[in-house]
Amino acid sequence: MKEFISLKIDYAFKLIFGKEGNETILTAFLNAALKLPQERRIEAITIMNPELNKEYQGDKKSILDVRAETSEGMQINIEIQLSNQYDMEKRSLYYWAEMYSRQIREGMAYKELAKAVTINILDFNYLKQTSNYHNVFHLYEDEEKFQLTDALEMHFMELPKLLAKWRNREISPWENELVRWLLLLEGADNQEILQTLEEIAMKDPVLHQAMTAWEETSDDPRIREAYFDRRKAVLDEKAAIREAELRLKEALEKGRVAGIAAGKAEVAKKLLNLGFEITKVAEATGLSEKDIKSLKD
């Protein structure tokens, strides 16, 4: 069995989708994600940050995103996240604002500013309001829902929701290009997905190019060493976030229990003041008769 590096690790994702020479792969993914009409599909793209500095690979706080610009000037940022840091919408909005504003040059008219797009690929469920794995946000008027401008576009792609729909056969990588590109990120951990994509790649030359690059990259000893360093840093961060979530949950539960106890005591005091017997107060509140006697005293 082939052993692939996981494309859900941002370092590996960038090696395939954000590397100079792989512009065709990135273009195919973006055309599938943005769902542009045929006459406006992306034909050429420039990767703006192809470098992969080794000093960042072990840094948990570094963001190995993919930034690109189309031949029409559209600005695009792609980020992949394994754990929920509860800031994705603000982080995405910040990246959008940064991309949009840095286009401006002296003497440039605002109408010349190109569209900016952020794409967030998440390995966790984030948007509780929907079961859709791909959601796109724009600026719309509240009541009549007409669009103010298409300059802002934010995508959220949630892999767990994608996998759930794939397992239930609600979606098919044979029929949907975006599904096949997102399932590619799961291929290292799922032999059925990998085999399906290999079959599709026989008819999809760009997917074939991506899978060939992925296999060659996975076989490179130096890349594997750097990959495992980055993987450890990312998974350590994910574990730390999970630990913090559990501790917060425990603290909230303790606070809830303490709050319930305090509330019961307050009710018990009021019942005693109204002249209820201790046994009746105990029955009503769930407190012990001993505790209620203490409150009465």
pLDDT of residue 257: 64
Backbone angles phi, psi at 201, to 5 degrees: -65, -20
Backbone angles phi, psi at 90, to 5 degrees: -75, -40
pTM value surpassing 0.85: no
Percentages helix, strand, coil for the chain, rounded to the nearest 5? 55, 15, 35
H-run or E-run covering 137: strand 134-140
CB 140 within 8 A of CB 84: no
Mean pLDDT by 10 residues, the chain (297 residues): 88 94 96 91 92 58 82 94 81 92 90 95 94 96 94 97 96 96 95 96 97 95 92 83 68 64 78 75 79 81
| DSSP-assigned states of every residue in 23-77 | HHHHHHHHHHHH---GGG----EEES-----HHHHT-TT----EEEEETT--EEE
pLDDT of residue 240: 74
| Eight-class DSSP state of 173 | T
